[in-house]
Amino acid sequence: MKLLQEAIEKRGEIINDSILKVDSFLNHQIDCALMEQIGIEFANYFKDKHFTKIVTIESSGIAPAVFAGLKMNLPVIFLKKSEPSTMKDPVYTEAFSFTKNRKYTLCMERSCLNPEDSVLFIDDFLANGQAFISAEDLVHQCNAKINGIGIVIEKSFQKGRQLIEEKGYDIYSLARIQEMKDNKIVWAK
């Protein structure tokens, strides 16, 4: 997605060869016009799939998931990083944050998904695939199925895509980074 690549090049900050900061439009401050285009792009790519829900992880996945949900007329569920006292029947899993270099617990109310649900998982970044593995675990605990994965920014030089493709999922990444070196981004073809 050219518009997203341009935003990354102009407004992103390469911290090192594996960390890209996009706080100015995605992870802290949200560029709603860009998120709308991201939602349209996901809706167009997945138009022939019959999803019933979108699942993401709080908080950085929420904006792209909500805009995709708006364009696809689907509800969005976000997996929480802490359990609120109002949850009656939560399901849990552990996740590892590459950026924060720590484990955390993800949870959701079991009743949000059921065996008839066909899920589109959307997230802001794909690196090593650990966030997806955790989301997949929660979806499966509810006996629902993931039938597509939408990623805003993929670090193709890490193993996340390979892990997901080996599981047979349909994955669509809007901006695939082959390499970040010398403060420059090389886009995957």
Q: Which residues define the annotated binding site for xanthine?
A: 20, 27, 155
Helix (H) or strand (E) holding 162: helix 160-166
d(CA 156, CA 92) in angstroms, rounded, equals 28
Question: Would the CA dihedral through 22, 27, 33, 38 be positive or negative?
Answer: positive
* Known binding residues: 20, 27, 127-131, 155
From the number of C-beta atoms within 10 Å of its C-beta (0-12, 13-18, 19+), residue 45 rates as: middle
**Whole-angstrom Cα distance, residue 152 to residue 42?**
9
Measured between alpha carbons, how far is 181 from 47 in angstroms, rounded to an integer?
A: 36
How far is the C-alpha of 120 from the C-alpha of 123, rounded, in Å?
A: 10
In the chain the first and final C-alpha atoms are separated, in Å, by 12
Binding residues for 5-phospho-alpha-D-ribose 1-diphosphate: 127-131
